[in-house]
Amino acid sequence: MASPGIDNTTDMLGIVDVQPTFMPGGELAVADGDAVVPVINRLLSGPFAHAFATQDWHPPGHSSFASSHSGRKPFETIQMPYGPQTLWPDHGIQGSPNAALHRDLTQARIELIVRKGFHQEIDSYSAFFENDRTTTTGLHGWLQARGVRRIFLAGLATDYCVAYSAEDAVRLGYQVFVIEDACRGIGLPVVGGGTTIDAAKRMLAAEGVTFLGSGQIA
Q: Which of 17, 90, 123, 159 is catalytic?
A: 17
Q: Which of 161, 168, 183, 201 is catalytic?
A: 161
Please give the distance of CA 25 from its chain centroid, rounded to a whole number.
Answer: 19
Question: Distance (Å, rounded) from C-alpha 163 to C-alpha 172?
Answer: 14
Of 192, 199, 197, 162, the residue nearest 177 (C-alpha): 162
Q: Which of 116, 168, 183, 201 is catalytic?
A: 116
Give catalytic status of residue 17 as yes or no.
yes
Burial group, residue 201, by CB count within 10 angstroms (0-12, 13-18, 19+): buried
Question: Distance (Å, rounded) from C-alpha 13 to C-alpha 179?
Answer: 10
Give catalytic status of residue 183 as yes or no.
no
Phi, psi angles (nearest 5°) of residue 159 = -90, 0
Where does the chain show beta strands of DSSP type E?
11-16, 51-56, 77-80, 83-86, 110-116, 150-156, 175-184, 210-212
Give catalytic status of residue 161 as yes or no.
yes
Which positions are annotated as active-site residues?
17, 116, 161
